[in-house]
Amino acid sequence: MMRKASILSSLLLLAILLPVSCEKVNLEEPEGRPEVKDGIKVRFSITDLTRISFEGEDKAPEVESGLSAACTRISFVIYQPDGTVYDAKHQQSADPGFGTLTTSLPAGNYRIIVLAHSGLGIPTFESWERVKFKDNKVSDTFYCVKDIKVAEGGSYELELKRAVSKFRLVVGDAIPRSVTRMKFYYTGGSSTFDPITGFGCVNSRQTEYREVPADMHGAGSQFEVFTFPHAVEDKLKITVTALNANNETVVEHVFTAVPIKCNVITQYSGNFFGDTPGGGQGGGNGDVTFTLSFDTSWTTITHSY
């Protein structure tokens, strides 16, 4: 009888503890975990994200006026020392207090990872070393990793660094009226990010489309795509295809061994369409040349094509 009572007590205790021990944080919910009643108030604020600019471009605006211009989404993910997520909060640029998080945490050690981007949705944090973005689309992305010890209330200022490289195609000649969009297919970069190393962590095949509205016809233009480099310096192979309304190829160029670097714009400038009817240089000799240049803060690297 005593044994049955002991077993019953153990089962009852397990039933009480199980919901607590199995509680999981839904990383897809913007609000994250409810605040701890007896927790310690801490405040995180982004200080220096928008002061980062690509060299050669206009100076970035101050944080207060420019944060929402630099990114539309911010994720604050708080990890426990064993790598499990304690909490995750996600903000959009229209939210009050965008770029600032005040929350309550139990005393202890934590690692906070912050990602600021303009992607299509909330990133998937598979671990603190592997973050995926919705539909594998990479936008201008900034990050910060900070280890903290919470013993009493306080504020933490977070300085975010740019994580991506940008490829810019400058079309110097006229875009034909038949072109409705530009396709960029590129390998050598990554669409998945490791915040701990600050580099990409998979070998991706990335495809991006850029629409060409009617008001862009008859003139030159420029197009940009992003990727996460695997190392301090990396190389891409990029196929750029001008497509018509039937998804047929009008003109295509392949750029090999394109040098990329984090926080650097690699820019290829030139006459993309050559003697293409209705565009290009108006029936020239068909020569296509590209010039390479770099922009380092964003840093720009310029090439001719």
* Of 289 and 171, more confident: 171
**pLDDT reported for residue 82:** 94
Q: Tell me the backbone φ, ψ of residue 123, rounded to 5 degrees.
A: -65, 160
Q: Which fold has domain 40-52+68-162?
A: Immunoglobulin-like (2.60.40)
Torsion from C-alpha of 283, 285, 286, 292, nearest 10 degrees = -110
Structure confidence at residue 47 (pLDDT): 77
pLDDT confidence band for 18 (50 / 70 / 90)? very low
Show the beta-strand stretches assigned E in 47-179.
73-79, 85-92, 100-105, 108-117, 124-127, 130-132, 142-150, 154-158, 161-162, 165-171
Lowest-pLDDT choice from 10-24, 94-108, 159-173, 283-297 = 10-24
Give 36: exposed, middle or buried? Use CB within 10 Å, 0-12, 13-18, 19+.
middle
CB contact at 8 A, 105 and 42? yes
Say yes or no to pLDDT of 24 above 60: no
Span 162-215, pLDDT tens digits: 999 999 999 999 999 999 999 999 999 999 999 999 999 999 999 999 999 999
Least confident of 85-89, 142-146, 281-285: 281-285
**The predicted structure's pLDDT at residue 49:** 62
Report which residue type is found at 252.
Answer: E
Higher pLDDT, 10 or 114: 114
pLDDT confidence tier of residue 258, bands split at 50, 70 and 90: very high
Per-residue model confidence (pLDDT) at position 69? 82
Mean pLDDT of the 102-114 span: 93
Per-residue confidence band for 246, with pLDDT thresholds at 50, 70 and 90: very high
Q: Which CATH class is domain 165-274+287-294?
A: mainly beta
Report the 10 Å Cβ neighbour count for 24.
8
Model pLDDT, residue 13? 42
What is the radius of gyration, based on Cα positions, of the chain? Answer: 24
The residue-averaged pLDDT of 225-244 equals: 95
- Please give the mean pLDDT across all residues of the chain: 81
Domain segments of the chain as ranges:
40-52+68-162, 165-274+287-294
- Partnered with residue 259 across adjacent β-strands are 235
**Higher pLDDT among residues 241 and 70, named by residue:** 241
Please state, in angstroms and rounded to a whole number, the distance separating the CA atoms of residues 265 and 259: 10
* Confidence (pLDDT) at 68: 80
**What is the distance between the alpha carbons of residues 60 and 70, in angstroms, rounded to a whole number?**
9
Highest mean pLDDT out of 26-30, 259-263, 276-280, 289-293: 259-263
Token pair for residue 221? 């233009």
Alpha carbon distance 158, 156 (integer Å)? 6
What length does the chain have?
A: 305
Give pLDDT, residue 88.
94
Predicted pLDDT at 256: 94
Looking at residue 274, its pLDDT comes to 82
pLDDT over 90 for what percent of the chain?
Answer: 58
**Is 165-274+287-294 in the same CATH topology as 40-52+68-162?**
yes
pLDDT at 27: 54
- Say which amino acid occupies 45: S
Tokens 């994580």 sit on residue: 163
For residue 98, what are the contacts with CB-CB under 8 A and spacing of at least 6? 67, 68, 74, 91, 92
